[in-house]
A and B are shown apart, each in its own frame.
Chain A
């Protein structure tokens, strides 16, 4: 009787130690689901989903507090990818959060009108605006995500949206029309 209790106690404490050790050794930093969701989001950080950036939205989705159809910049492709990852039904984009753009956009500052107030710099989530107080400001176009968050704070309305048209280097071919036969058809 006594030996049995002792033996079980020893076994239990050994397993307890192993579990305690692995809890420290194999500790998971952060929530891996959040990272996976965040990787699918377009990272415009525009806040159209009502969350302050892509990661907060990903966190909310992981907790089940937000829907998968709140991201207009991601559009249909993102919704499908999210549905796939979270194993839920695909649904159309919630129009409350905005519409899908036909072409990606960036903003440019009209440097003639800019008064150098720095408000847009503070609004930019990806530090894509360069300037200093009472100096001319400019947008680093290659880093601009097209979130348009800099537009409302501008006191002189000198920030304008431009579409980024495809070039010979960024062009994508269209899916052929079913009415179109092979050019070399014989």
Chain B
């Protein structure tokens, strides 16, 4: 049933032209397999995963290629069966455009799966930790875009409500919408599994009111279910309602405190696509090797949603959708508000790639000079986290770290609302990104220099200790010599002679003993071959 009680709202936000109809006209289409897949070892927030395979090794579909590097990390799996043709640096979809370590799989088109043990409906009997291990081993990360390892946030302490985020507030993107239309039952099963892990009492599925078909599909699945665990909450279409903290504020009316996790107010938030991936991992024992991605924009011939294997080159996805139009301009991974442009289409699709947007030339207004800030305050009105974007801009351009931190730079979710409304076209988010990464870099340098200082101090202490020890030894020797010479002077000469003679006798005895031993050894050697 649809909840009818009034919902809260967050400050700011924008109503954007959605362009979702571009890609929702057709069903999800599956892509034919490619010859080569490129699997980056870091597709998640946290530590890079550690490769388990070697170059030249044959791998099966679904086989783990790399294990989590530590607690906050995620495994990656082979999307096809084939040969590991290389493990090397390759450009990955990242805002920096830098390369990272990737595993290359040459497809043998046999589609041979590893042995699987699907739990199917038995998941009800499984323990929380057992299910969490399955989710962790399946390499599941948040598929809404942040790619945070899912198992890490599934704590079972004090969680009352599971919120399934199906808001999908960015323009153009429709992968969650079509997923719900076509796989509503599976999504609910996935949510039930998560509910089982975290022992939630209720699950609220939050959907924006611009997705009536998805609402209908989920509603009928809920009616079939009949347990009363699930509820739909329709939320108004305001960008960025899909932000985790914004959505929690809409649904519960409570704000997640700064620097804290939603779990602390008894809420856990997962994307619908993540729930679907968890269904596939637990129910079917399929690791996260594919996802639904929206390929859209006026620069691509047949915008649509595709089910694509992780590691597929972007060029293959575009080709599957009819290729680029003549007016195509920029290739963006993610939505128009928070996405980043890709330098080439040889990059692979990763777990977090919810959208490939190809803009047409007239949609784009890049190469224009931005004007000075006139302090109109429009950015303040739209900021969903109530920051002062114009002040942050000011301090970022003057590199004033202390003031940036005082003005809560790190609360910025980089939603892009401020830059969108700015009449001077200032790329505000890029200033914040510059400031954030620079502060992180300074922090890293400070840590490194602290370690270097410690190591240098220990080094100095050791040298000092060695020096003191040497001096002490010298002193002792000197004293011994002194004593000896004093003693010699007092003793008669015969005693000295006796001492010397004894020392000589001892040395002779030692040499003889050694000789005997050596001879023995030789005898043994001689004996051995015979």
Asked if residues B369 and A181 are in contact (CB atoms below 8 Å), the reply is yes
B337: CB under 8 A from chain A? yes
A125: CB under 8 A from chain B? yes
- List the A side residues contacting B127 at CB < 8 Å: none
A185-B455 contact in complex given A168-B96, A170-B444, A175-B397, C-beta closer than 8 Å: no
Contact of A166 (CB < 8 Å), options: B98, B416, B448: B98
Most buried by B among A43, A166, A169: A43
Q: In the complex, which residues 157-175 of chain A have their Cβ closer than 8 Å to any Cβ of chain B?
A: 166-175
- List the B side residues contacting A41 at CB < 8 Å: 449
Contact of B434 (CB < 8 Å), options: A44, A124, A127, A176: A176
Asked if residues B419 and A42 are in contact (CB atoms below 8 Å), the reply is no
Q: In the complex, which residues 87-114 of chain B have their Cβ closer than 8 Å to any Cβ of chain A?
A: 92, 94-96, 98, 100
- List the B side residues contacting A153 at CB < 8 Å: none
- List the A side residues contacting B436 at CB < 8 Å: 173
Residues of chain A whose beta carbon lies under 8 Å from any beta carbon of chain B: 38, 41-45, 53-54, 124-128, 143, 145, 166-176, 178-186
A43-B452 contact in complex given A171-B98, A183-B427, C-beta closer than 8 Å: yes
Give the docked Cα–Cα distance between A181 and B428 (Å).
Answer: 9
* B340-365 to A contact mask, C-beta < 8 Å, 1/0: 01000000000000000000000011
Give the docked Cα–Cα distance between A116 and B428 (Å).
Answer: 55
Most buried by A among B367, B416, B426, B458: B426
Give the docked Cα–Cα distance between A41 and B94 (Å).
Answer: 33
Asked if residues A178 and B438 are in contact (CB atoms below 8 Å), the reply is no
Contact of B430 (CB < 8 Å), options: A168, A169, A176: A176
Asked if residues B458 and A143 are in contact (CB atoms below 8 Å), the reply is no
A85 to chain B, nearest CB (A): 14
B453: CB under 8 A from chain A? yes
Interface residues on B, range: 35 or more
Asked if residues A168 and B94 are in contact (CB atoms below 8 Å), the reply is yes
* CB-defined A-B contacts under 8 Å, sample of 27: A38-B453, A42-B452, A54-B453, A125-B456, A126-B459, A167-B100, A168-B42, A168-B94, A172-B438, A172-B440, A173-B95, A173-B438, A175-B396, A175-B431, A176-B431, A176-B434, A178-B370, A179-B369, A180-B366, A180-B369, A180-B370, A181-B370, A181-B427, A182-B426, A182-B427, A183-B419, A184-B336
Interface of A is mostly: loop
Give the docked Cα–Cα distance between A127 and B100 (Å).
Answer: 30
- List the B side residues contacting A179 at CB < 8 Å: 369-370
Asked if residues B459 and A125 are in contact (CB atoms below 8 Å), the reply is yes
Give the docked Cα–Cα distance between A41 and B448 (Å).
Answer: 12
| 7 smallest beta-carbon distances between A and B, as pairs | A181-B425, A43-B449, A43-B452, A185-B425, A171-B96, A126-B455, A182-B419
Contact of B455 (CB < 8 Å), options: A128, A174, A180: A128
Give the docked Cα–Cα distance between A182 and B437 (Å).
Answer: 19
B284: CB under 8 A from chain A? no
- List the A side residues contacting B92 at CB < 8 Å: 168
- List the B side residues contacting A145 at CB < 8 Å: 448, 452
Give the docked Cα–Cα distance between A127 and B451 (Å).
Answer: 11
B288 to chain A, nearest CB (A): 20
Give the docked Cα–Cα distance between A180 and B436 (Å).
Answer: 19
* B49-90 to A contact mask, C-beta < 8 Å, 1/0: 000000000000000000000000000000000000000000
Give the docked Cα–Cα distance between A172 and B437 (Å).
Answer: 5
**Quick one: closest B residue to A143, CB to CB?**
B455
- List the A side residues contacting B431 at CB < 8 Å: 175-176
A175 to chain B, nearest CB (A): 5
B420: CB under 8 A from chain A? yes
A107 to chain B, nearest CB (A): 14
Give the docked Cα–Cα distance between A174 and B416 (Å).
Answer: 18
Asked if residues B369 and A185 are in contact (CB atoms below 8 Å), the reply is no
A64 to chain B, nearest CB (A): 23
**Quick one: closest B residue to A127, CB to CB?**
B459
Asked if residues A181 and B98 are in contact (CB atoms below 8 Å), the reply is no
Contact of A169 (CB < 8 Å), options: B48, B364, B367, B458: B48
Asked if residues B368 and A184 are in contact (CB atoms below 8 Å), the reply is no
A181 to chain B, nearest CB (A): 4
Give the docked Cα–Cα distance between A179 and B370 (Å).
Answer: 6
- List the B side residues contacting A126 at CB < 8 Å: 452, 455-456, 459
Give the docked Cα–Cα distance between A43 and B457 (Å).
Answer: 11
Give the docked Cα–Cα distance between A176 and B432 (Å).
Answer: 10
A70 to chain B, nearest CB (A): 17
B404: CB under 8 A from chain A? no
Asked if residues A170 and B453 are in contact (CB atoms below 8 Å), the reply is no
Asked if residues A172 and B422 are in contact (CB atoms below 8 Å), the reply is no
A89 to chain B, nearest CB (A): 19
A126 to chain B, nearest CB (A): 4
Most buried by B among A41, A166, A171, A182: A182
Give the docked Cα–Cα distance between A176 and B438 (Å).
Answer: 13
Identify 11 new A-B residue pairs, CB closer than 8 A, beyond the known A173-B434, A181-B368: A45-B456, A127-B458, A145-B448, A168-B42, A168-B98, A173-B96, A178-B369, A180-B370, A180-B430, A181-B427, A182-B422
A42-B449 contact in complex given A176-B427, A176-B431, C-beta closer than 8 Å: yes
Asked if residues B453 and A182 are in contact (CB atoms below 8 Å), the reply is no
B255: CB under 8 A from chain A? no
**Quick one: closest A residue to B431, CB to CB?**
A176
Give the docked Cα–Cα distance between A42 and B447 (Å).
Answer: 10
- List the A side residues contacting B365 at CB < 8 Å: 181, 185-186
- List the A side residues contacting B367 at CB < 8 Å: 180-181
Give the docked Cα–Cα distance between A41 and B96 (Å).
Answer: 29
**Quick one: closest A residue to B372, CB to CB?**
A178
- List the B side residues contacting A180 at CB < 8 Å: 366-367, 369-370, 427, 430
Contact of A185 (CB < 8 Å), options: B48, B100, B368, B453: B368
Give the docked Cα–Cα distance between A18 and B327 (Å).
Answer: 85
A168 to chain B, nearest CB (A): 5
**Quick one: closest A residue to B92, CB to CB?**
A168
B153: CB under 8 A from chain A? no
Q: In the complex, which residues 354-402 of chain B have their Cβ closer than 8 Å to any Cβ of chain A?
A: 364-370, 396-397
Most buried by B among A41, A53, A143, A176: A176
Asked if residues B397 and A184 are in contact (CB atoms below 8 Å), the reply is no
Contact of B370 (CB < 8 Å), options: A168, A169, A173, A182: A182
Give the docked Cα–Cα distance between A8 and B455 (Å).
Answer: 55
Asked if residues B422 and A185 are in contact (CB atoms below 8 Å), the reply is yes
